[in-house]
Amino acid sequence: MIVDVHAHYYPQRYLERIGRQELPPSSSAPLGDQDVDERLQLLDRVGIDIQVLSVSQAQPYLETPGDAAQAAVLANDLFLALADERPDRFRVFAALPLPHVDEALAEIERVRDAEKLSGFTIGCSVGNVQLDDPLLDPVYRRLEELGAVVFLHPVGQETTGWLSGRNLAWMVGATFEDTVAALRLVLAGVPTRFPHIRFVVPHLGGTLPFLLDRVSRKREGALDVVAGLRSMYYDTVSGSVAALRCACSELGDERLVLGTDYPYCDEEQLEHHVAYLEKAGLDDRTLEQIRTGTATGLLGLDGDG
């Protein structure tokens, strides 16, 4: 059983609710027009058995608490409905109406026992709120009590001056978001204070595998920074054999789980996201671990199908 932990779903009703009807952009999401049946046929062809669905950058981070809460309810109900229709193929990372803490806590309680829930997704930032802001501690505390999986995802920093234009916010900015979000969490001691939250960082952790020595240098508690980063999980969305080898070496192959970033790829690229693991020279045990074993344990899919 091959599990894809990084895959997206864009129900039109939800996009209309949050005012993001432009998603997913056809220029960067060639598979965005597929219906569910076409999607499943493609997954069969490339060998993916289960996808865990998340909202990507379309988070319900609306200004007023009521609007954000209603949007999160709609998103999660639509996602869970699809998973209930095809329980053999889909699971869900539920969205939260942040930065509105009371509403986020209410949504956690509302969906926490849903049969096909695999965890929750949080943006690498929430408007002007960063993930190390103490404002979010009550949310982390509840997720800690549940032992929840939390999948991070970039939100797109198009308004940041140095990333404006030329698609830089997504071409490279997304991986910088991954890097900074993970570091903010570790430097704020979030994984230490809430050790039962299992964070999943996308895109091989952004630049973290390449910068691990730098972030550990000449800093009090540097070893804790490295240990904190190595306590997280990282999906394999990259496509670069060299980057994958680096992540295995620096972060640990036992912390990697397969991802594809569907629909942000064409059919050939989707197949490559699965197949390129073999080109990295990983042994059979490690391949099975990344494609299946770690994710099934992390998401409670052992013996599930």
Residue 154's pLDDT is 97
Residue 161's pLDDT is 78
Q: How far apart are CA 263 and CA 10, in angstroms?
A: 10
Q: Say if strands 129-130 and 125-126 run parallel, antiparallel, or are unpaired.
A: antiparallel
Residue 168's pLDDT is 85
Q: What does pTM read for this prediction?
A: 0.96
The set of residues, in sequence order, having a beta carbon less than 8 Å from that of 102 and lying 6+ positions away, is 65
Residue 9's pLDDT is 98
DSSP per-residue string spanning 142-205: HHHHHT-EEEEE----TTSGGG-STTHHHHTHHHHHHHHHHHHHHHTTHHHHSTT-EEEESGGG
Residue 305's pLDDT is 45
At residue 299's C-alpha, the angle toward residues 257 and 127, to 5°, is: 75
Residue 152's pLDDT is 98
Q: How far apart are CA 261 and CA 270, in angstroms?
A: 8
Residue 217's pLDDT is 79
In the chain, where the domains are located: 3-298
Residue 166's pLDDT is 83
Residue 223's pLDDT is 61
Q: At the top level of CATH, which class does the domain 3-298 belong to?
A: alpha beta
Residue 219's pLDDT is 64
Is residue 121 a contact partner of residue 95, using CB atoms and an 8 Å limit? yes
Q: Which residues of the chain are under the pLDDT cut of 50?
A: 305
Q: 99-127 in b/e burial notation, b at 16+ Cβ within 10 A?
A: bbbebbbbbbeebeebebbbbbbbbbbbe
